[in-house]
Amino acid sequence: MIDRSRNLAILGLQWGDEGKGKLVDLLSARFRHVVRFQGGNNAGHTVVVDGQSIALHQVPSGALHTGCFLVVGSGVLLNLEVFHQELSRLSQRGVDVTGRMIISDKAHLILPHHIALDQWREGRAGANRIGTTGRGIGPAYEMKAARMGVRKGDLKHPDSLQERIRASYEEVRLLLGAEAQLPSLEAIAAQLMEQARPLLPLIGDIQAHLREAQAKGEPILFEGAQATLLDIDHGTYPFVTSSNCSIGGLFTGTGLSHKDLGYVVGVAKAYTTRVGAGPMPSELQDASGDRLREVGREFGTTTGRPRRCGWFDAPITRHAVRTNGADGLGLMKLDVLDGLDQVGLVIGYRDGEGGLVPNLPSCAQDWACLRPEVRMYKGWTQATRGVRSLEALPREARIYLDALAEAAEAPIAYLSTGPDRDEGFAWPGRFLEGML
Ligand code: GDP
């Protein structure tokens, strides 16, 4: 009998940057396989080790644990140039992944003309910009759906590679016009083969790999990138990413089934942030928002763009808990709320007529008229930074956390009280106890 109950998924419940990387890093030591299943180099985690932070975009965060086998799933998009840069940064830090990585042969590639198309579109969209990272992620997923994508498995057939690329390349050329600065088709294929050569032995069938792992009783950790409110189906469309970053993406991005999963940890900050445009009813455009941004260091890791900040938004988190079937919360960055006189919790939304809105709207236009219903809680004077037990939490923080968990409809399984590995604790009596 195969025991799948130990397989665990970590998924974002807000608009990303929740601190998933820390939790994945903490837990990976307990797992033999760590799997990335969607997203491209538009996502990424920051993990802090011995006070030094390392940003990982495409390589699974388990890289830092030598006992972890790294699996790049079929739903992941790889930009090979960036992938190599990441591997070499890891190797400069003494992290070697040789012999412990497999890349799905079904995973698609990001090509130079995908990037050109992405930037061309964002450049001409004016006020309607989605605010993509301009790294070709959207176009690469579009080409996948249009059956014009190029997969890792295609790299094993160099003779037909150019033909595989041709259809998407010619379409982009037509759209961008003759004056667009694009490398030639031949140059793209040649560069791809050059970049792919050292990776060819790693390309394989990850579904079979994970099945074998399960047969051997080896536990698997699935690490989500981005988050549910950015999910192309269940997020704030069209201000979303181009993949399913909630639970469905785990299954399509690995070929495993729901029966292969034991637990789902949904990760959220003790407040809310969002990067770029799109609905965010909890946004605070005042000194409280500025304070969350400064103390929480809410600035984009690559662009330095300030993130929009607000109180914890229970309606969006509850939606994400339900969508993912989250068994518990990984609640991060409680320490950022230290020292506030009052802490807010968005418990619901009211529409233009003042009526309570029971479910999240699907259209951006309907989001625009929502007003958050905020309940204020007394802040705490004693700092929570570095607190490692329930007993050491200030009483006011406990009251706030109990209300938050009830409103989000999920118990807190892990509470994070600082960026370092040992700042935080697994909630006593809940499923992560004994795993950290
Ligand atoms: P991810 O994409 O969800 O992994 O999120 P990020 O990589 O953007 O991580 C969020 C940032 O918050 C990182 O710089 C972490 O080191 C930091 N962080 C994680 N947990 C905590 C915490 O409990 N308190 C504080 N102050 N920072 C944290």
Res 48: pLDDT: 63
Task: Output the CA 46–ligand 1 centroid distance in Å.
Answer: 7
Tokens read off for 348: 């619901």
Task: Output the CA 104–ligand 1 centroid distance in Å.
Answer: 28
Q: What is the rounded distance in angstroms from the CA atom of residue 258 to the CA atom of residue 382?
A: 43
DSSP of 238-275: TSS-SS--SHHHHHHTTS--GGG--EEEEEEESEEEE-
Specify the DSSP element, H or E, that contains 101: strand 101-104
List the catalytic residues.
Answer: 17, 45
At position 165, the amino acid (one-letter code) is I
Rg from Cα positions in the chain? 22
39 in Cβ contact with 70 (< 8 Å): no
Angle formed at CA 171 by CA 169 and CA 174, multiple of 5 degrees: 110
Nearest to 224 by CA among 185, 181, 256, 253: 253
Stretches in the chain below the pLDDT threshold 70: 1-2, 46-52, 125, 127-131, 302
Tokens read off for 87: 């591997």
**Ligand 1: which residues within 6 Å by Cβ?**
12, 16-22, 45-46, 48, 332-333, 335-336, 416-419
Closest residue (by CA) to atom 18 of ligand 1?
A: 419
Nearest to 241 by CA among 43, 37, 105: 43
User: Rounded to two decimals, what is the model's pTM?
Assistant: 0.94
Closest residue (by CA) to atom 13 of ligand 1?
A: 46
* Cα torsion through 347, 363, 135, 43, rounded to 10: 20
At position 372, the amino acid (one-letter code) is P
Tokens read off for 136: 């070709």
DSSP 55: E
Q: Please report which residue ranges of 342-394 form alpha helices under DSSP H.
A: 364-368
Q: How far is CA 296 from CA 289, 309, 400, 418, 419, in A?
A: 10, 10, 18, 10, 10
Q: How far is CA 179 from CA 153, 174, 355, in A?
A: 32, 10, 54
Helices 314-324 and 395-408: crossing angle in degrees, nearest 10, is 60
Task: Output the CA 354–ligand 1 centroid distance in Å.
Answer: 36
Tokens read off for 400: 């706030």
Task: Output the CA 346–ligand 1 centroid distance in Å.
Answer: 22
**Nearest-atom index, ligand 1, CA of 44:** 2
Res 25: pLDDT: 85
Res 2: pLDDT: 66
Taking phi over 0 as left and psi of -120 to 50 as alpha, with beta for the rest, 419 belongs to alpha
| Cβ neighbours of 170 (radius 10 Å) | 13
At position 426, the amino acid (one-letter code) is A
Res 178: pLDDT: 81
